[in-house]
Structure 1
Amino acid sequence: MILGQRENPLRDAQDRRLPRIAGPCVLVIFGVTGDLSTKKLMPAVYDLANRGLLPPGFALVGFARRDWAHQDFAKIVHDAVRQHARTPFREEVWRQLSEGIRFVPGEIGDDASFDKLQRTINDLDEARGTGGNHAFYLSIPPGLFQTVVDQLRSHGLADQQAGRWSRVVIEKPFGHDLASAKELNRIVSEVFPPWSVFRIDHYLGKETVQNLMALRFANQMFEPVWNNNYVDHVQITMAENIGIGGRAGYFDGIGIARDVIQNHLLQLLALTAMEEPNSFEAGQLRNEKQKVLAATRPPARMDLHTARGRYAGGWAGGEKVRGYLEEERIPADSKTETYAAIRVDIDNRRWAGVPFYLRTGKRLARRVTEIALAFKRAPHLPFTATDTEELGHNALVLRIQPDEGITLRFGAKVPGTQMEIREVNMDFAYGGSFTEASPEAYERLILDVLLGDPPLFPHHEEVELSWEILDPVLDYWASLDEPPQDYQPGGWGPALADEMLARDGRAWRRP
């Protein structure tokens, strides 16, 4: 039995009693043999079907350089679903889904391969009733985008016909600097109109990120203090406790600043700092995010307000781990950073004088993503020096992952006859407050693509504004002769990062 509406967290935005069900369509995945497809995309498609959010007229097509038949690819999807899907495996759901699974072997530069893709899609339009609606997911390196979109255009697969749609989905990175991002947008926009281009930043599909908007705009208590009158500074952190794994070919030469700060962290900054939109319609939300990014300035002093590092070898989590330069296929003279921290400032009335500190790194103490607003200290404490411990800043912390929730940190009296104040935490956890299953980010984003619902997807102006913020930092680092500062695995990054905040009289939170 398909999961019922009472268990379905992906509701229609206008009527919460109704699920948001996609219409008939074909989803084509390029790069279907990669980890993203196996671990995220295929399981997400199954989970959507299992939740009753895909119609009978749905089909999934894989395109790759493999000598597979349709049933071979169906077996790959089946195994990926069994291993990584979040909802229970149901034979009747799988049977219906598998009837629409096809595979097209070929090279992206080969016209004959795209002729076969076109025939396969046309056959599905007839046999499955997919209505001529097609979404093309480019889970491939950006250097291959132009070849694919040109092939889609020349074979009539990108045509926008009345009553039908054709959409393209692009995975990050959206370029490697401002110039390449503009070129990438030019390539895609020559074939697909702006409303048919969906840039995936999977962080924006996370329930906890969307809850940031609910926290701010659905509650009267927070918005009055969400400004420079009360907020001392903001820290946005994305930390991982693992190394680069098998991603050396992608990661080296790119670095963690390009990989995380340019997209994930600056998007979180925009959602944290933006003004209230008139509605959550895509254009309104985009306008407010763009205003914030346009007002965000790169570090005023690159030498004082940026830090980069590289994990060394050592012990972490009870096991001996290799340093970055010891990882396979990393050149000995690499200057790629695995840790990056920067300070940015927002030049507008709400945030003038409030620094935003962004940090991200690998091989750190734990895996955590959070947004922390540190409030100014009380201007007067009517207590004796012995009444209080050293009180820090009150803080509101939004935990994005993995322990999703919100923490409020404040001072409270210790039970007893004396007036003693100590910092305490008040916690809200998603798992303890809601019985609804939280959908995985790619479920929400794939469904939004099929529905043509773009609020959670960055527009090209946002991408370019983010590069304008980060490019000066990358240029400064490239001008330095020395490599990134080494840091020990299992800690919280290089000493330079601590010094960066210490100069401002502040310190990093320890999540």
Structure 2
Amino acid sequence: MGSGEWCLQKRDSFRTDSFSGNENVPEIGCLSIVVLGASGDLAKKKTFPALFHLYCQGFLPPNEVHIFGYARTKISDDELRNRIHGYLVSERSASPSEDVSKFLQLIKYVSGTYDAAEGFQLLDKEITKHEFSKSSQEGSSRRLFYLALPPSVYPSVCRMIRKYCMNKSDLGGWTRIVVEKPFGKDLGSAEELSSQIGELFDEPQIYRIDHYLGKELVQNLLVLRFSNRFFLPLWNRDNIDNVQIVFREDFGTEGRGGYFDEYGIIRDIIQNHLLQVLCLVAMEKPVSLKPEHIRDEKVKVLQSVLPIKDEEVVLGQYEGYRDDPTVPDLSNTPTFATVILHIHNERWEGVPFILKAGKALSSRKAEIRVQFKDVPGDIFKCKKQGRNEFVIRLQPSEAMYMKLMVKQPGLEMSTVQSELDLSYRQRYQHVTIPEAYERLILDTIRGDQQHFVRRDELKAAWEIFTPLLHRIDDGEMKPIPYKPGSRGPAEADELLAKAGYVQTHGYIWIPPTL
């Protein structure tokens, strides 16, 4: 089947209730998706391609949906479409040009500032015109505003939306806003931002997006933990020695030095992405799969995290980072960090959770590594070869594998470390794994907040890291230089060893080839 036929088939099978937050009440009003910051990199590289893929799969039927781009840049509809076009065809080249052209015709552009009424009044006029053309009953239409913008303009943009662009009444319709990270720079700024937005919108209308929560293997964590009998008795302090959650990039800031230096690796990666993953690894079983029940359990984990100790932190900065002309000569911003967290509850008391992230390292990957304790009474003397580990590779080459000891094939009774392997590329050859932004935008349309960050969750996360971040900002903690292409500072490996992590020597997991 060609990709054009596939898209057509998916559109024909589209059901209106797939938009609904309530499975029993189909939503019938037309949908307007507004991408604010439409001319920026995030919108071009992530937001519009995600919308295009949803369109190809039938989740954005052209008879109900219109997409609006809004930004300060003074360009025409066609100029915006031309800017977006290349990102659509390069993301999934199998998409036929006919689908790309039809999708681009759904996009209209409105130019205006982010703090003045004129632009938003014009935007509302265009949205209303679209709704009228679809004969949508007033009040039944749906308006989704995606803020692909710096957080500094969130308050003014939200005020303009609230005053000029809201769905006019409540007859099954809604207005929702999606805000991108970073949500502030510390607890104080995050709370101020939350208060400003919270005065304008109710919590069910606010979708704080963290794209890691849309990744396939992250979404699999709840299924793995709570639907497999053999994990239930193992997932605790009696069997698990330590947990690592790792993010590694093999390149530096590459032109984003000025932006990155304002935040650093902890704010950029650890405080949000890796901490969200930790919550899913460590949380208790929720009462149900309702979003609030799941988010309740995540908040309990965050509230159980003990204050971070300085001696359980290693910071690094790769050599050459300050050569970027947009980075201050005396920058103290870490490009690498290893932080050990401890969860003070019955399940996890004494188990270190090691969060590790860095740029310009020897490899690129993101993974969860659960290391189990040594086998008591080890008659095979396997200890030197390494421990059992359960590894969830989030990216690239999505996979789950269990490292275990087996007999080396042959006449001798010797052991070797091997694995039980579920590699997605091999097992699911004919399944396209959706991008995180596709899934999360669709969740927003459906009104499912399970994979979005709640306000109290955000506050609890910042409470953990704000004291450490302030000590770094004040120069009380200094990053250690490390060479690009290395594992990072040697002190980080020493810290892992002190925490109890046992590194495996002589074993390398190799992703299966098709």
Residues 215-269 of structure 1 deviation map (CA, whole Å, 9 limit, x = unaligned): 1112111121010110001000011111111212311131010111111000000
Letter in 1 for 2:409: P
1:112 aligns with 2:112: no
Given the superposition, is the C-alpha separation of residues 348 and 482 from structure 1 closer, same or farther in structure 2, using an over 3 Å criterion?
closer
Decide whether aligned partners of structure 1 residues 488 and 420 sit closer, same or farther in structure 2, where only a CA change above 3 A counts: same
SS in 1 for 2:238: coil
Change (3 A) 1:368 1:8: farther
1:222-301, aligned counterparts within 5 Å?
222-299=231-308, 301=309
Which has the higher mean CA deviation after the structures are superposed, 341-350 or 69-78?
69-78
- Work out the CA distance in 1 between the residues paired with 2:125 and 2:479: 52
Change (3 A) 1:418 1:48: same
Partner of 2:23: none
Residue 470 of structure 1: which of 465, 469, 476 is its match? 465
Please report how far the alpha carbon of residue 407 of structure 1 lies from its aligned counterpart in structure 2 after TM superposition. Answer: 1.3
Which sits farther off after the overlay, 238-247 or 467-476? 467-476
Query: Aligned pair in 2 of structure 1 residues 504, 486: CA closer, same or farther (>3 Å)?
Result: same
Q: Distance in 1 between matches of 2:383 and 2:196?
A: 59
Letter in 1 for 2:40: G
Distance 1:132 1:479 in 2: 49
Q: Which moved more, 1:496-505 or 1:175-184?
A: 496-505
In the other structure, the counterpart of 1:374 is 371
2:77 alignment counterpart: 70
Q: How many residues align?
A: 490
Q: In 1, are the aligned partners of 2:241 and 2:500 still within 8 Å (CA)?
A: no
Quote the Cα distance in structure 2 between the aligned partners of 1:228 and 1:294. Answer: 18
| Amino acid across the alignment from 2:304 | A
Query: SS where residue 220 of structure 2 aligns?
Result: helix
- 1:357 matched to 2:361: no
Matches within 5 A, 1:111-260: 111-128=117-134, 132-157=141-166, 161-260=170-269
The residue aligned with 2:334 is 337
Instruction: Return the letter of the residue paired with 1:326.
Output: D
Letter in 2 for 1:74: R
Q: Whole-Å Cα distance in 2 between the matches of residues 390 and 8 of structure 1?
A: 56
Q: Give 2:455's aligned residue.
A: 460
- AA paired with 1:332? D
Cα 1:446/1:373, change in 2 over 3 Å? same
Contact 2:387 2:502 in 1 (8 A): no
* Counterpart Cα distance in 2 of 1:260 and 1:22: 39
How far off is 1:162 after superposition? Answer: 2.9
Q: CA deviation at 1:382?
A: 1.9
Asked if the contact 2:316–2:335 (Cα under 8 Å) also holds between the matched residues in 1, the reply is yes
* CA 1:425–1:73: 2 relative to 1, 3 Å: same
Give the one of 378, 400, 403 matched to 1:406.
400
Query: Equivalent residues in 2 for 1:304-319 (5 A)?
Result: 304-312=311-319
Any conservation in 1 of the 2:43–2:148 contact (CA below 8 Å)? Answer: yes
- TM-score, structure 2 normalization: 0.90
Note if contact 2:391-2:400 (Cα within 8 Å) is conserved in structure 1. Answer: yes
Q: How does 1:420-499 map to 2 (within 5 A)?
A: 420-434=414-428, 435-481=430-476, 483-499=478-494
Q: Per-residue deviation at 1:99?
A: 3.3
TM-score of the aligned structures, taking structure 1 as reference length: 0.90
Q: Distance in 1 between matches of 2:178 and 2:255?
A: 25
Unaligned runs of 5+ residues in structure 2 are 21-25, 510-514
Indicate if the aligned counterparts of 1:411 and 1:422 stay in contact, CA closer than 8 A.
yes
Deviations 1:368-420 (A, max 9, x none): 0000110000110123x5xx571321100000000101111011111223221
Gaps of 5+ in 1: 15-19, 313-322
Question: Residues 8 and 112 from structure 1, CA distance in 2 versus in 1: closer, same or farther, beyond 3 angstroms?
Answer: same
List per-residue Cα deviations over 1:62-101 (Å, max 9, x = no partner).
11122212222222232321222x3632344334433321
After superposition, the C-alpha distances for 1:346-376 in whole angstroms (9 at most, x for unaligned) are 1111111111000000001111000011000
The equivalent residue for 2:410 is 416
Name the CA distance, whole Å, in 1 between partners of 2:169 and 2:132: 18
Distance across 1 between alignment mates of 2:474 and 2:432 = 48
Residue 171 of structure 2 aligns with an amino acid whose one-letter code is A
- Contact 1:9-1:438 at 8 Å conserved across structures: no
Shift of 1:23: 6.5
Contact 1:409 1:423 (8 Å CA) reproduced: yes
Residue 179 of structure 2 aligns to a residue in which SS? strand
Does residue 499 of structure 2 align to residue 504 of structure 1? yes
Q: Which amino acid aligns with 1:103?
A: Y
Report the AA paired with residue 436 of structure 1. Answer: V
Give the 5 Å matches for 1:74-89.
Answer: 74-84=81-91, 86=92, 88-89=94-95
Distance 2:248 2:152 in 1: 28
Q: Helix, strand or coil: the match of 2:229?
A: coil
Query: Which one-letter code corresponds to 1:284 in the other structure?
Result: H
Q: Answer yes or no: is the 8 Å Cα contact 1:413–1:421 preserved in 2.
A: yes
Q: Deviations over 1:17-59 (max 9, x none)?
A: xxx9997311111111221111111111111111111122111
Distance 1:91 1:13, change over 3 A: closer
1:397 corresponds to 2:383: no
Q: Residues 343, 54 of structure 1: CA spacing in aligned structure 2 closer, same or farther, 3 A cutoff?
A: same
Q: Secondary structure at the match of 2:499?
A: coil
Match of 1:320 in 2: none
Please give the alpha-carbon distance, in whole angstroms, between the structure 2 residues aligned to 1:499 and 1:221: 33
Listed one character per residue, the Cα deviations across residues 291-321 of structure 1 (whole Å, up to 9, x for unaligned) are 111111232x31x200110011xxxxxxxxx
Instruction: State the distance in 1 between where 2:500 and 2:149 align.
Output: 44
Shift of 1:433: 1.2
* 1:426 aligned partner, one-letter code: L
Distance 1:239 1:410, change over 3 A: same
Q: Distance in 2 between matches of 1:114 and 1:408?
A: 53
Instruction: Using the TM superposition, give the Cα deviation of residue 503 of structure 1 relative to its aligned residue in structure 2, in angstroms.
Output: 2.5
Contact 2:120 2:165 in 1 (8 A): no
Q: Distance in 1 between matches of 2:69 and 2:193?
A: 23
Q: Percent identity?
A: 37
Contact 1:178 1:468 (8 Å CA) reproduced: yes
Alignment match, 1:319: none
Distance 1:288 1:9, change over 3 A: farther
